[in-house]
Structure 1
Amino acid sequence: MKKLFMFLAVAGLATFGASCSSSDDNGGGKDPQLTLKADKTSIKVDETVKFTVEVAGKAETGAELYKDGTKISNPYKFTEEGEFNIVAKKKGSLDSQAVKITVTKGGTENKKMTFTASSNEVGVGENVTFTIKDAEGNNIDGAKITLAGTEVSNPWKATAVGSFEFTAAKEGFDPAKVTVKVVKKITSIVLVVEDPENTTEDTGMRFSVVDQDGDLVTGSSIVIEGQPNPFPTRDGRLTITGAPEGTYKVHATYESLKSAVVNVVVKAGNRPTITGTVQFDGRTENVLEEVYGVSQVIEGEGGVLIAVWTTQTITESWVLQKRFFSVVELDEEENVIDGGIYTGQIEAFDIMIFSQSGGSALGSPERVGNEVAESANMAMTYKVTLGAGSSEVFDKVDTNNSITYSNGKNSVSTVSGDAQQVQWQAGASARGTKGGALKVGKPLLKAKY
Structure 2
Amino acid sequence: MTTATLPDSAAGLRSKLRRAEMRQRLRAYALILPLFGFTLLTFLVPIAMMLFNSVNDPVVSGTLPRTTALLRAAPDSTAIPDEPVFAALAADMKEATEAQTASQVGSRINYERSGLRSLFMSTTRQIVNVEHGPWKPAFLEINPAWGEPKIWSVLRQTSHRYTADYYLHAVDLTRDDQGHIQREAADSRIYVDVFARTFWVSLLVTLLCLAIGYPLSFWLSHLPPKTANLMMVLVLLPFWTSLLVRTTAWVVLLQKEGVVNSLLLATGLIHAPLDLVFNRFGVVIAMTHILLPFMILPLVSVMRQIPPSYVRAARSLGASPLTAFVRVYLPQSVPGISAGVLLVFILSIGYYITPALVGGAEDQMMSYFIADHLTRSLNWGLASALGGLLLAGVLVLYTVYERYVGIANVRLG
TM-score band (shorter)? under 0.3
TM-score by length of 1: 0.22
Q: Give the strand-richer structure, 1 or 2.
A: 1
TM-score by length of 2: 0.24
Q: Which has the higher contact order (CA 8 A, sep 6+)?
A: 2
